[in-house]
Amino acid sequence: GQNIDQPTEMTATEGAIVQINCTYQTSGFNGLFWYQQHAGEAPTFLSYNVLDGLEEKGRFSSFLSRSKGYSYLLLKELQMKDSASYLCAVAGRAGKSTFGDGTTLTVKP
């Protein structure tokens, strides 16, 4: 099975940088996804990592270390609209994704 841990809540200031961590234990690994979910809305895809290292996409970057079972999502130049829940999801055997509880990020002025 899968076990995914991420912090429940984080707070940061507009314009700052925030790092959201995700650790996982998995039987079978086919990549790690990050999704963003605004309150009352559906999750939307942010990033996918299957190899070790950093993937950069604009203000958002995602990092993976398979040997450590660890990933983080880095958000730069925070904006108020970045206030949302960030979901870490691990794709296991047959591509089945297991989601973490999500990290609720609050961006303050």
Q: Which of 27, 39, 67, 94 binds other proteins (CB under 8 A)?
A: 94
Indicate the residue among 73 and 78 with the shorter CB distance to other proteins. 73
Q: Does position 38 bind other proteins by CB under 8 A? A: no
Nearer to other proteins, 83 or 104 (CB): 104
Query: In 3D, which of 36, 106, 40 has the Cα closest to residue 78?
Result: 106
Q: Which 3-state string (H, E, C) describes the chain?
A: CEEEECCCEEEEECCCCEEEEEEEEECCCCCEEEEEECCCCCCEEEEEECCCEEEEECCEEEEEECCCCEEEEEECCCCHHHCEEEEEEEECHHHCEEECCCEEEEEEC
Task: Decide: is 51 part of the binding site for other proteins (CB under 8 A).
Answer: no
Residue 84 engages other proteins in binding (rule: CB under 8 A): no
Q: Contact with other proteins (CB under 8 A): which of 9, 19, 38, 50?
A: 50
Nearest distance, CB of residue 15 and other proteins, angstroms: 29
User: Which residue ranges make up the site for other proteins (CB under 8 A)?
Assistant: 4, 30-31, 33, 41-45, 48, 50, 87, 89, 91, 94-102
